[in-house]
Chain A
Amino acid sequence: EAGVTQSPTHLIKTRGQQATLRCSPISGHTSVYWYQQALGLGLQFLLWYDEGEERNRGNFPPRFSGRQFPNYSSELNVNALELEDSALYLCASSLGDVTEGETQYFGPGTRLLVL
Chain B
Amino acid sequence: QSVLTQPPSASGTPGQRVTISCSGSSSDIARNPVNWYQQIPGTAPKLLIYSNNQRPSGIPDRFSGSKSATSASLAISGLQSEDEADYYCATWDDSLNVYIFGIGTRVTVL
> Do these two chains really belong together in a complex?
no
B residues engaging A (CB < 8 A)? none
A residues engaging B (CB < 8 A)? none
